[in-house]
Structure 1
Amino acid sequence: MTRSNGRARGPAAGNRRSSRTGLGRAAALVTAISLAVPVGFVPAPAAAFVFNSIRIEGNQRIEPQTIISYANIPRGAQVSAGQVNDAVQRLQNSGLFETVEIIPQGSTLVIRVSEYPTINVISIEGNRRIKDEQLSSVIKSQANRVFSPATAESDAEEMAKVYASQGRLAARIDPKVIRRANNRVDLVFEVREGDVTEIERITFTGNRTFSDRRLRQVLETKQAGLLRAFIKRDTYLPDRIGLDERLLTDFYRSRGYADFKVQGIAPEIARERDAFFITFNIQEGPRYTFGNVNVISEIPGVDAAPFSAQNRVRPGQVYNPTDIDNSIRRMESVAIQQGQNFVNIEPRITRNLRNQTLDLTFALTRGPRIFVERIDIEGNTTTLDEVIRRQFNTVEGDPFNPREIRNAAERVRALGYFSDAQVQSREGSTPQQVIVDVNVEEQPTGSLTFGVSYGANTGAGFNAALSEQNFLGRGQQVQLSFSTGRDNQNSSFTFVEPYFLGRDLKAKFSTWYITTDRQNAEYNTRSAGISPALEFPVSQNGRLELRYKLSKDTLFDVDPIHTDPEDGKLVGSSPILKREEGSRWTSALGYSYTYDTRITKLDPETNYVLRWSQDFAGVGGDVKSVTSSLFAGVESTAWRPEVTLTGQFEAGAIHMLSNQKSRVTDRFKGAAKIRGFAPGGMGPRDLAAPNKDVLGGNFFWVARAEARFPIGLPEEYGIQGGLFADIGSVWGLDDRDGANGVQVDDRMHVRATVGVSMFWDTPIGPLRFNLSKALKKEDYDKAQSFDLTIQSSF
């Protein structure tokens, strides 16, 4: 028997190496702990035995009766040689003994056994990429249990699968044992992790319309590139290959290739097991357009006209199953609004191979009368059932609407509380009832982050945040954040209850403390306040927020006009700012109405947002004013799926009451609205004042346009390009009496900028590079042609 006097590392021990005997496969394990091939006494074929007694030798933990029962040799009866050999096999196959020996001694049968040792400790050595806890979760061998070579070998295979799931197919796990006293062993799994098995090349056969390069952009799997050390999608994962097949199918069918199919996927691994070569064999088929499109009703009393108005498929349009599904969703929404239950929108497609068109008919049919028996929720250990259940507009006893169930499933996934959420229906206690099963897998929803940031104007900064998106499993959001830069500090606390009083009523509370330290200006500001709010739906896509705001805003350290004793020059800020110096309390009631099509997602290609807000100050406090703002935005990928077009228009106005005058802490700042200008770089300015600080304006408007698109680099680099253009103005003051009695120019001077952007999604955070050119500006404006923002959390 081979023994080792080395000491194995236990669960809490260090990384001590041991002198130990290696185990390979099951046979190697047997050899490592001196498993003898069973030695059975095999007499001549004609021999027969009669045993009146059975004696057990060598057993320590296992009772003699247990061994006798496994042997199953009858006393006082004739026993053949075959029966003796069968007894040996039964004892060996029991998994309890290293060696088994049966020795006839006259009328006595001696069964001599050597038991498997007991596992003392189990340890894992050599792993760096994957923690002990994750690997231990797949190990079936247990301390203080009988050692089994087969189980240890199976454990090594399961651990290798964990490494394979992370792309390390070359990883090897070798189970080793160390003999201890009292028939005990230490089981050690030695890990050789190996390198990541990268995908060296992805190719396609059968593609004529799109190049290999374009199709590679569609896949989730990526080729290894220059950033292979950071990009993990270049590892081979079989599950991801199945996803790639669906992505290719969706890509082609959304471009009119209704008959597209992936005929085969051939992954090949290099001999060194360090690289994969994947080939997709595809069949494109013809490209179809829609021919005749109509909507019919086969339900008595149901008019097809309101449903037809929701149809978004037009003749001559390139076939896209998303357009059909989008139209069905709109029509089903009409059925829900009309209270029409059990309405089924059935798309009927007729192929015309000669002219490569598809005739489409949306048929309104009466579906089966099925009701929801109950909704079962499983897998949630922290999240309360009610948090998931309130995402369903359907309750027990309601008519079963598959579309509504799918929409609810999307809402559950959108919560962000679960790594996986599956919603399926099955037949209930009767064929007319269904049970909706909701199976979720929770994921961490809290985070503690520390980060650094950098801006061309704000310089380097530090930020920290503690957030929880599912506080106490109730779906509540809590966030505490702090950030500091070269010229400012910002700390805030926010609490959101998304379902206040058990209704679709979002309650919010926020508080903040913000300071600026001469941020491109010769004065400082400080703001502290609180704001509770309630938000609730008023239509399918519309929400209304009611809020209250109480804040104390302070303007201080305004540098008055004076002569610098060192150089004799005049320095200082405008008398307008000096007159505004001090603190004022603002107590305001406000509301915001938001129309957002992303709530229902009826059009997956284009989203619209419209927001109108007003705040009325004067409910106590020092400030009496009305502040109004308008925002309208559209984002679309309808032109090309890989190109995102964005357009925005924003405007605002402050109207002071009771003959009050606005302050710089209340007014709009132009650089925050129009890109291409430095902070404090545009807007009304007292040109007669030495410091020429920006004063802000009571009014502003700005229009923005932006396009984001790929620039030809491999998608795995995460780099895209962009173009943008901004035009707008900030103007208007209540107090225009500047330095030396000169009236400040607060007219509406239009500014315009254009620029290019580079977006880079990096492992250290998202980067955006802006290079802009001010096409129209005033001589005193401060333009900023380059800006870089970067943020990293660790």
Structure 2
Amino acid sequence: MKAASSFMCAVSAVALSAGMVMSGAVAVQLAAVSVADAATVSRIEVRGNRRVDAETIRNYVGITPGQSFTQADLSEAVKQLFNTGLFADVSVTQQGSTLVVTVDEYAIVNQVLFQGNKKIKDRNLEQAVQLRPRAAFSNTAMEADAQAIRDAYSKIGRDEATVTPRVQELADGRVNVVYEVQEGGRTKIGSISFVGNNAFSDRRLRDVVSTKQSNFLSFLMRDDIYDENRLRADEEALRRFYYNRGYADFRIISSSGNLGADNEYNVTFTIEEGQRYTFSDVAIETTIPGVDTQTLQRVIQTRAGGTYSAEDVENSIIALTEEVAGLGYAFAEVTPRGSRDFENRTISVVYSVDEGTRAYIERIEIRGNNRTRDYVIRREFDLSEGDAFNQVLVQRAKKRLERLNYFQVVNIATVPGSQPDQVVLVVDVVEKSTGEFSIGAGYTTGDSSGGGFSLQGSVTERNFLGRGQFIKLSASGGEDSRDYSFSFTEPYFLGRRIAAGFDVFRNTRTFSNSSDQDIYDRETTGATVRFGLPITEALTAQLAYNYSQEEYTRGDDYDSADVSTAVDQAIGQGTWKKSSVSGSLVYNTIDNLQSPREGIYANITTEVAGLGGDAKFVKVTGRANYYQMLSDELDLVGLVTVGGGHIAAIGDEKLRIFDQFNSNDRMIRGFKYNGIGPYETTSSGGRDYLGGTTYFHGTVEAQFPMPIIPESFGLRGAVFADAATLYGSDYTSADVGGTDMAWRASVGASLIWASPFGPLRVDYAEPVVKEDTDRIQNWNFGISTRF
């Protein structure tokens, strides 16, 4: 019987030896213990340890001298020692009444060094690797880190980068881990082509995807890097593009990038467009008693005869779900059913409204956010753990996350929870760079100030420290001007969806006469504290407090004959303080603020000055921009802009001329700044334009891609017609003219460039309706999209 027991123990040892744990070339084997099924020892001896205390190892073993143990206890002891991550090899043997635990400790990392890297800084590579100083070393972790470094270089377009890891042995079981990097050349995007597209040209589709062909400015734009994640995002962008334009059968057959011998990728999207559909019948049905389907018809956005649009269907689902939820059905579920008529190319849609299955959110898991804090993502959800699951609110959160512009890709999926009525939301994101540095130069003309060449630069971070905060520091200057400003915005003030921020600025101007003599200087310092509260997804209310101080000083060449009496009196007041509050309503449905093609951006603002300070007035201004795609095939975009404003003094006060409206290029192009409207004749026979109390303006414009020039360069053209009037003045004198309402008009053409420094444009305008006293300026250089 004793022999049988010894035989069984030996078999167990052989079986455990056959199941040895492997780590690289390291094999771990538990030696046989030639005892019966249960054994005891009088002491435990630890060998091979250099840094780890022997008593600590004995605690992990979990066997006490005098205590009986089995083969399973020994196996568990070995597992516990390996799970510490401190040992490369472990063996346990019994020698007489002694249990011997022999360990081979991992080396300890002393330093992690990078050599040969220039395009990626050490601190960025340190974030990519797992090995850290004072951590246990392993070959597996080192090889994984080498691959992580290769992946980091691939993301900046250097697929040929090689990484060679090596180990420097030091005393006392320490090592330095060195990664030798050969960065190689930068890969580019040589071409982006489409196969199977008939409705839209390659040029139009290349404008839809975010991957761009390389050009001489790509080193600034960094949008010509081949990335599988970006390619998947481009596929989704193409689907949305086609689905929203009637092509319900659209699908992507494949997308790939082939690296050629010239180190350039040739990206190809193979697609199948299918037929273009329109909506036929649109109906609503429901199993919920008491819900009137006729009443629900008013909230849906799909109409019979309209071009099929997946976005309209999605918005209709959201509107229906919210409407039914308002009637007390929190779990209501809206399911669209589409029926295609292939012969007539129509789709009938039936929205089925049911009470839905009761389900609750067990938890929300967020993955892929290496920089952005979890709470920045969670706060975009109108639901949290324990709330009723609502697909509409999930989709709304997805849209909000995409609008943040922090991520290349946002995907939200559901998986079953621990209970049948619970689900887990899994949010996967792929982050992108949110910092921008821009520097540029410009040229302006004018009789007042700031003429000539100017330099401007700014640093912007949209996701400061991963907290979702916005900061911007900018400076610009020319021969006669200096501007400095700093802005900060917290989009969730006090944990609520209220944007709070402030702006501080300092501007200086030198005003000269026609002989370039210094007449007077103006120095303005001010600040604004502002709050924004969303009313709906598209409508926002804003409230701000504004304070500024203007200080005027006469120049060395000042001569009262060169300026009007009104200007001379205003300068004589010296320091002028303005304390005001303003309220605004902003309506925004623009699809892309940098390059808009569809939507409305409108705002109306009322400012009241007089809470202290010298200024006392009420000012009302408004502006609306309406963008509409005129032709998808030609990428032709139409723009209509209207605006106006009025300012009036409070009580018996009179407006200071510097508080009145001045004409500018946003009002009408083809005329100089402050070049139309009321003016006063100076003693020397010149004119000082005083500004006006009322203005109206309008613009119609058509924007189109420039032929021949690759769309990746971001250059578009435009033709426009402007009309405006500026009139009225609180300053009356026999020498004041131009106070009557008189319209001006101009026509022109523009070049619009989505540059690395922001959207810029150059306008040439020719006045067609003007007054003899107006000042003309045909050329204008400025920012393209200002709302």
Q: Distance in 1 between matches of 2:247 and 2:468?
A: 43
2:338 — aligned with what? 349
Aligned with residue 524 of structure 2, among 522, 527, 533: 527
Aligned CA distance change for structure 1 residues 222 and 488 (closer, same or farther; 3 Å): closer
Question: Normalising to structure 2: TM-score of the pair?
Answer: 0.73
Aligned CA distance change for structure 1 residues 118 and 684 (closer, same or farther; 3 Å): closer
Kindly state the Cα deviation for residue 402 of structure 1 after the two structures are TM-superposed: 1.3
1:264 maps to 2:254: yes
Kindly state the Cα deviation for residue 669 of structure 1 after the two structures are TM-superposed: 0.3
1:632 maps to 2:624: yes
1:612 — aligned with what? 604
2:442 — aligned with what? 454
Where 1:342 maps in the other structure, the secondary structure is coil
Q: Distance in 2 between matches of 1:572 and 1:543?
A: 46
2:693 — aligned with what? 698
Kindly state the Cα deviation for residue 403 of structure 1 after the two structures are TM-superposed: 1.0
Where 2:242 maps in the other structure, the secondary structure is helix
**Cα contact 1:179–1:185 (8 A) shared by 2:** yes
* Structure 1 counterpart of 2:444, one-letter code: A
**Cα contact 1:685–1:693 (8 A) shared by 2:** yes
**Cα contact 1:558–1:577 (8 A) shared by 2:** no
**Cα contact 1:721–1:756 (8 A) shared by 2:** yes
1:594 maps to 2:594: no
2:562 — aligned with what? 572
Where 2:772 maps in the other structure, the secondary structure is coil
1:169 — aligned with what? 159
1:680 maps to 2:674: yes
**Cα contact 2:547–2:580 (8 A) shared by 1:** no
Deviations 1:730-749 (A, max 9, x none): 11112231xxx434332222
In the comparison of the two structures, how many residue pairs are matched? 677
**Cα contact 2:438–2:757 (8 A) shared by 1:** no
Where 1:722 maps in the other structure, the secondary structure is strand
Q: Distance in 1 between matches of 2:254 and 2:498?
A: 51
Q: Aligned ranges for residues 373-772 of structure 1 at < 5 Å?
A: 373=362, 389-395=378-384, 397-415=386-404, 423-436=412-425, 451-457=439-445, 458=450, 459-462=452-455, 481-494=474-487, 496=489, 498-500=491-493, 503-518=496-511, 522-537=519-534, 541-557=538-554, 571-581=561-571, 582-583=573-574, 585=576, 590-598=581-589, 606-637=598-629, 640=632, 642-671=635-664, 673-687=667-681, 689=683, 690-712=685-707, 713-737=709-733, 741-772=734-765
Q: Distance in 2 between matches of 1:243 and 1:420?
A: 6
* Structure 2 counterpart of 1:220, one-letter code: S
Where 1:309 maps in the other structure, the secondary structure is helix
Deviations 1:279-311 (A, max 9, x none): 444333333332222223332111122321122
* Structure 2 counterpart of 1:652, one-letter code: G
**Cα contact 2:545–2:580 (8 A) shared by 1:** yes
Kindly state the Cα deviation for residue 759 of structure 1 after the two structures are TM-superposed: 1.9
**Cα contact 1:576–1:736 (8 A) shared by 2:** no
Mean CA deviation greater in 360-369 or 124-133: 124-133
Q: Aligned ranges for residues 316-355 of structure 1 at < 5 Å?
A: 316-355=305-344
* Structure 2 counterpart of 1:746, one-letter code: T
Q: Distance in 2 between matches of 1:120 and 1:560?
A: 70
* Structure 1 counterpart of 2:663, one-letter code: G
1:313 — aligned with what? 302
* Structure 2 counterpart of 1:347, one-letter code: P
Unaligned 5+ runs, structure 1: 1-29, 36-58, 64-94, 98-114, 564-570
Aligned CA distance change for structure 1 residues 214 and 155 (closer, same or farther; 3 Å): same
Mean CA deviation greater in 148-157 or 672-681: 148-157
Aligned CA distance change for structure 1 residues 526 and 335 (closer, same or farther; 3 Å): farther
Q: Aligned ranges for residues 19-168 of structure 1 at < 5 Å?
A: 123-135=113-125, 156-168=146-158
Where 1:787 maps in the other structure, the secondary structure is strand
Aligned with residue 182 of structure 2, among 192, 213, 228: 192
Q: Distance in 2 between matches of 1:260 and 1:723?
A: 34
2:288 — aligned with what? 299
Kindly state the Cα deviation for residue 680 of structure 1 after the two structures are TM-superposed: 2.9
Aligned CA distance change for structure 1 residues 743 and 638 (closer, same or farther; 3 Å): closer
Where 1:746 maps in the other structure, the secondary structure is coil
Q: Distance in 2 between matches of 1:117 and 1:787?
A: 67
Kindly state the Cα deviation for residue 388 of structure 1 after the two structures are TM-superposed: 5.1
1:786 — aligned with what? 779
Question: Normalising to structure 1: TM-score of the pair?
Answer: 0.72
Kindly state the Cα deviation for residue 213 of structure 1 after the two structures are TM-superposed: 4.2
Kindly state the Cα deviation for residue 401 of structure 1 after the two structures are TM-superposed: 1.6
Kindly state the Cα deviation for residue 696 of structure 1 after the two structures are TM-superposed: 0.8
Aligned CA distance change for structure 1 residues 765 and 611 (closer, same or farther; 3 Å): closer
Deviations 1:104-123 (A, max 9, x none): xxxxxxxxxxx999998765
Kindly state the Cα deviation for residue 518 of structure 1 after the two structures are TM-superposed: 0.2
Deviations 1:159-183 (A, max 9, x none): 4443333333333344567899999
Kindly state the Cα deviation for residue 697 of structure 1 after the two structures are TM-superposed: 1.0
Where 2:394 maps in the other structure, the secondary structure is helix
Highest CA radius of gyration, 1 or 2?
A: 1
**Cα contact 1:455–1:789 (8 A) shared by 2:** no
* Structure 1 counterpart of 2:585, one-letter code: T
Where 2:695 maps in the other structure, the secondary structure is strand
Where 1:247 maps in the other structure, the secondary structure is helix
Deviations 1:625-652 (A, max 9, x none): 3222233332334754944433222211
* Structure 2 counterpart of 1:696, one-letter code: G
Kindly state the Cα deviation for residue 727 of structure 1 after the two structures are TM-superposed: 1.0
* Structure 1 counterpart of 2:710, one-letter code: P
**Cα contact 2:439–2:757 (8 A) shared by 1:** no
* Structure 1 counterpart of 2:781, one-letter code: L
